[in-house]
Each structure stands twice: as structure tokens, then as C-alpha cells.
């Protein structure tokens, strides 16, 4: 499988990330790592996600920043990784994701959106998602906690991101229902895990998916 099978510049990849502000990210790990250590882990995960997306080579990669692009960390990523920054827009995650997809569709592009919490996601996973969008309306990678770590769309699907209880175990179930109701052709990729809880962090250490992990 190679990205040469994809139409030139047909796909964009959006990495969604919050600024690594101590006390506001990876809060469930703060008791173990401290607020600063949790923020450091978050920053490392964001860089890893961006590097993975760029390695996939399926199209332009953009870092979508929350609450906006002003945090120095994002400027560092833009310089170090040569990535374009965009600000997330919307009242909740659903609105922010919908805005990113609308931006891509308006430019005539498919979009693959990935979070920054899943170091198990590989460049090959993103490549498979991009290829799937050539024949599917949607492609999605479920997460073990009931959410999802990657979603790609080749067309608008009305209501897909509305009325969902984000950060709950029902996200993937609700998303499947909406895709089914819309008659969308969807491909699901193998389920992965993300890093939110102490047991996830222990797994991350065991599997050695990051070069630098706070202790």
C-alpha cells in the first residue's frame, strides 16, 4: 500500500490539539505526573501525532489549535515541524470538528481528523484511512474507551457531530447511529487506545511508543 494510489492533493489531515497548559490538559494524570509533567506529556503526544500524520504522506497536515493559535508551543511546532496552524472554532468539540471539515470540503478536499492522545495510531493507519475515502463516505478508528481516535469524511454528513455527549463512553455508538441514519458508506479500522488514565500511561511506558515520556 502506498500513498501514490491516492489522487494528488485530494486529502488533508487535521491534528486537533489543546495548548499544553498545566492544570488544563491530561488532568487525570496530574496526580501521578504533576500538572507540569502532565502538560509535558501532552506536548510530547501532540508532536508525535503531527509527525505521524506528516509521515503518512497523504496530503497537507494542519495543526488545529485550541483555544487558538497564540500559545508559544504552537509557534514552536510550526517552526520545528513546518506545519500550518489553524484555530479551532466552535462552542464544543462537535462544532469545532464540523468547522474543520467544512473548511476542507469548501476547498474540494477530503479530511482526516486525528486527536493527539493516541500514540498507537500509525502512519499506515492514516494512509489506510485516506485510501478508504476514495470509495467510502467515512472512515473511523474507534477507541477502547468508547470514543474514536480518527475520523475521515469525503462528504458532508448532516448532524454527524450534533447532540453527542463528548468525552463519554457513548461517542462511538452515537456516531455509528448517525452514520447509519445518513446511509453513509463507512469503513471502521481496528480499535486503538489513547492516553488519558494512569493505566493508559502505564501501558504507554510498557509499549515504548514515545521516545520521551515524563516519569
Q: How many CB atoms lie within 10 A of CB 145?
A: 19
Give per-residue pLDDT as tens, 124-146.
999 999 999 999 999 999 999 99
Q: What is the mean pLDDT of the chain?
A: 94
Q: What is the CATH number of the domain that holds 101?
A: 3.90.550.10
Q: What is the pLDDT of residue 3?
A: 45
Give CA–CA dist 119/49, Å, rounded: 7
Give per-residue pLDDT as tens, 190-212.
999 999 999 999 999 999 998 76
Question: Looking at the domain assignment, is residue 1 inside a domain?
Answer: no
**Torsion angle, alpha carbons of 194, 198, 201, 203, to 10:** -90
Question: Looking at the domain assignment, is residue 214 inside a domain?
Answer: no
Question: Looking at the domain assignment, is residue 211 inside a domain?
Answer: no
| Total domains, the chain | 1
Q: Beta-strand (E) ranges in the chain?
A: 11-18, 59-66, 84-87, 110-114, 138-142, 148-153, 186-188
- Confidence label for 215 from pLDDT (cuts 50, 70 and 90): low
Question: Looking at the domain assignment, is residue 2 inside a domain?
Answer: no
Question: Looking at the domain assignment, is residue 14 inside a domain?
Answer: yes
Give per-residue pLDDT as tens, 89-136.
999 999 999 999 999 999 999 999 999 999 999 999 999 999 999 999
| Cis omega (within 30 of 0) for bond into 67 | yes
Are residues 16 and 116 in contact, defined by beta-carbon separation less than 8 angstroms?
A: yes
- DSSP β-bridge partners for residue 139: 152, 187
**What's the domain range around 63?**
9-204
Question: Looking at the domain assignment, is residue 213 inside a domain?
Answer: no
Question: Looking at the domain assignment, is residue 151 inside a domain?
Answer: yes
Give CA–CA dist 11/164, Å, rounded: 26
Taking CA atoms, 52 is separated from 21, 38, 150, in Å, by: 23, 21, 13
Are residues 78 and 84 in contact, defined by beta-carbon separation less than 8 angstroms?
A: yes
Give per-residue pLDDT as tens, 33-70.
999 999 999 999 999 999 999 999 999 999 999 999 99
Q: pTM for the complete prediction?
A: 0.94
Q: What is the pLDDT of residue 4?
A: 45
pLDDT of 5 over the 60 cut: no
Question: Looking at the domain assignment, is residue 98 inside a domain?
Answer: yes
Amino acid at each position: 500500500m502506498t500513498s501514490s494510489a491516492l489522487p494528488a492533493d485530494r486529502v488533508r489531515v487535521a491534528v486537533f490539539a489543546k495548548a499544553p497548559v498545566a492544570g488544563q490538559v491530561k488532568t487525570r494524570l496530574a496526580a501521578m505526573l504533576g500538572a507540569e509533567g502532565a502538560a509535558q506529556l501532552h506536548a510530547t503526544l501532540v508532536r508525535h501525532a503531527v509527525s505521524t500524520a506528516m509521515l503518512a504522506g497523504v496530503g497537507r497536515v494542519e495543526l488545529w489549535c485550541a483555544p487558538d493559535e497564540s500559545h508559544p508551543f504552537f509557534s514552536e511546532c510550526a517552526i520545528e515541524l513546518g506545519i500550518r496552524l489553524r484555530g479551532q472554532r466552535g462552542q464544543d468539540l462537535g462544532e469545532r470538528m464540523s468547522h474543520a471539515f467544512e473548511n476542507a470540503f469548501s476547498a474540494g478536499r477530503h479530511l482526516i481528523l486525528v486527536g493527539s492522545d493516541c500514540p498507537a495510531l500509525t502512519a499506515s493507519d492514516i494512509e489506510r484511512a485516506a485510501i478508504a475515502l476514495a470509495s467510502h463516505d467515512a472512515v473511523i478508528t474507534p477507541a477502547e474507551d468508547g470514543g474514536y481516535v480518527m475520523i475521515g469524511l469525503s462528504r458532508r454528513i448532516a448532524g454527524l457531530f450534533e447532540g453527542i455527549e463528548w468525552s463519554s463512553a457513548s461517542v462511538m455508538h452515537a456516531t455509528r447511529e448517525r452514520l447509519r441514519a445518513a446511509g453513509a458508506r463507512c469503513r471502521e479500522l481496528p480499535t486503538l487506545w489513547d492516553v488519558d488514565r494512569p493505566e493508559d500511561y502505564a501501558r504507554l511506558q510498557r509499549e515504548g511508543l514515545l521516545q520521551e515520556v515524563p516519569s
